[in-house]
Structure 1
């Protein structure tokens, strides 16, 4: 099957799910808001377009989410249903989430979050990566657009979800040992947030997900990254290399000293190293005091805060 992506219309039925509206689309297919008698959900559809690799994205997503659900589910959507519809497309129905961190960041004062809010969100975003790494997967596309909060009507606006596992890669073999790095790996991810290894076309490891998380943390807290104005991929890579010598450029005030310390630790990690997640959480929690914030304070979109309009 090739050509145009299948478009589903509001009111259309896919098995027991009724289409409410389209939420977005990518190269693989589209995402719709659907409902049944129990509530609202998100449905991802993926159609074969004669390209073998296209159809694998949803399969990978299902396999990662299924594996995660066995371990308890801190920051991941739950799969409600999956199948193939009339030999036209594959579909997966999962938890419907709220606004992305990208939208919430833009809705804040000066295009970033308040420090207390960004620290709390950062801790949850890292927990999601720790859980993913624990089942042997790297995310490889950590960015504010791939994290969301839960839905206001479910009282989940302080809960962070991580999405989109289409770029994931298993870094362990079936016996749990870490796979040897490949000689060369193509660029994966998003240029703005990608780790230095990615620019060097090296195989990625857990510390690369953490490096990307650090860049995201800097952007959520300060509003922009030092290379935000550069579009050339190689130049962005050089800027990231340069920042290693001057971390204060990545974390200008009001960012706390602890962010520098975490970044320095992550920068020194090697391919086979297991991240000390607990140490990083400890430093993140210390940073509340450094910036005079409380972990119990409302997030920016709660109680009429600076980003509350984004939830409307």
Structure 2
């Protein structure tokens, strides 16, 4: 993706639901399996359970191809079986699906005793929709042989800013790296790009929303920060910048993991990631700032220099990380609840807040490490490599001062004021 081809920016009223693509919340599963599915466009939500659609009158299907190339439209990824009851218990709860490809009105519902079974690449059973947004839809799925959970993401091939092909290509380069989900399949089915990946645990955004105080315990966030830094470092080392760091892009553990037992933090949703290196492996040159250019990312977490029209670089990912972890602990940022009539106005007013406030005012009430990380990122030059080890050390030492890092993690705050023990408990 070239600079000139960067997609228009999502705004705070169009938050990506990509976190849901890898999670059927293990925490929510303990509460009658009520998944957290949100949409920033509630008036445009389709019915809650849509299929991975197949052509209405499919031709004779050729033998399945193992070519996982997203650019091969002839690759048949989805096969719809005869309308017979599924053989797996997990499939019986999926209800009926629509066979609509173009978004036309749903046909009459099929009897619940005979739900339609949908397979992806003759291997993954589609269970239910777990999220959707401007990017497309996300479904929970299951490997028909191993019963392993997967996330199945799709977007229309003719959508305004397709991202799955870029996301698939980057994930393939990160399959040996910790902190990134495994990708199993990618390709084109009829009018959809489709991606099949391992299903992860809840995102930090979902966990924050589930907390009564709408914030996470200080010690828990401090535990997460070094791993979040490692994810960004890995991505940067492979030649990419993320450009959209926010709580919904970091997932906690794999599907079904015990969140109290120090799970791994994962970085997801790489559709907006781009290379910052040229064909010779050198950092792209700095361009003159242009405040009129389209912004990429989310205004709430965008760096001040991105607001001013500079190109993204590694420093901006670190600054965005600083904003999001401050928000996780405080529950909000000074500009979080702005009321605006347009995305352009939202970007403008958010920029004014960030320009007028010091790092210590933004991180008011938190340990100095939060303000120090924000100031460090803002002071970095365009092509400078962040000192990830130093930043990690700050927060590991802070965690050691707050208490025993072997204690189990707590992911909720009972009220807006942080508990005296920092939110950790040895009895869960």
Structure 1 length-normalised TM: 0.86
The aligned residue for residue 252 of structure 1 is 364
**Cα distance change of structure 1 residues 280 and 113 upon mapping to structure 2, 3 Å threshold:** same
The aligned residue for residue 294 of structure 2 is 186
The alignment partner of 1:120 has SS state of: helix
Deviates more, 1:93-102 or 1:228-237: 228-237
Q: Deviations over 1:115-149 (max 9, x none)?
A: 11001112211111111111111111100011111
Contact preservation (8 Å) 2:149, 2:255: no
Q: Deviations over 1:277-308 (max 9, x none)?
A: 00100111122245x23332222249xxx99x
**Alpha-carbon distance in 1 for matches of 2:211, 2:156:** 37
Q: Which runs of 5+ in 1 are unaligned?
A: 308-312
Corresponding residue to 1:33 among 98, 120, 140: 140
Deviates more, 1:147-156 or 1:37-46: 147-156
Corresponding residue to 2:374 among 260, 263, 286: 263
The alignment partner of 2:256 has SS state of: helix
The aligned residue for residue 54 of structure 1 is 161
Q: Deviations over 1:140-193 (max 9, x none)?
A: 110001111123534566221111111112111132210113444421111111
Corresponding residue to 2:353 among 239, 252, 256: 239
The alignment partner of 1:123 has SS state of: helix
Matched, 1:135 2:238: yes
Contact preservation (8 Å) 2:259, 2:409: no
The aligned residue for residue 195 of structure 2 is 92
Corresponding residue to 1:300 among 399, 402, 410: 410
Contact preservation (8 Å) 1:113, 1:221: yes
Q: Deviations over 1:79-106 (max 9, x none)?
A: 1122223x33221110101111011122
The number of aligned residues is 292
The aligned residue for residue 228 of structure 1 is 336
**Cα distance change of structure 1 residues 105 and 154 upon mapping to structure 2, 3 Å threshold:** closer
**Alpha-carbon distance in 1 for matches of 2:369, 2:256:** 35
The aligned residue for residue 65 of structure 1 is 171
The aligned residue for residue 119 of structure 2 is 13
**Alpha-carbon distance in 2 for matches of 1:48, 1:260:** 43
**Cα distance change of structure 1 residues 130 and 120 upon mapping to structure 2, 3 Å threshold:** same
Contact preservation (8 Å) 2:201, 2:256: no
The aligned residue for residue 310 of structure 1 is none
Post-superposition shift, 1:270? 0.9
The aligned residue for residue 79 of structure 1 is 183
Structure 2 length-normalised TM: 0.64
RCO higher in structure (CA 8 A, sep ≥6): 2
The aligned residue for residue 111 of structure 2 is none
The aligned residue for residue 284 of structure 1 is 395
The alignment partner of 1:75 has SS state of: coil
The aligned residue for residue 107 of structure 2 is none
- In proportion to residue count, which structure has more helix? 1
**1:91-110 map, 5 Å:** 91-110=194-213
Contact preservation (8 Å) 1:116, 1:294: no
**Alpha-carbon distance in 1 for matches of 2:198, 2:390:** 31
Q: Deviations over 1:225-275 (max 9, x none)?
A: 1112224321211111122xx32222222x212222222211210101110
Post-superposition shift, 1:220? 1.2
Deviates more, 1:155-164 or 1:126-135: 155-164
**Alpha-carbon distance in 1 for matches of 2:297, 2:226:** 22
Deviates more, 1:121-130 or 1:203-212: 121-130
**Alpha-carbon distance in 2 for matches of 1:91, 1:34:** 13
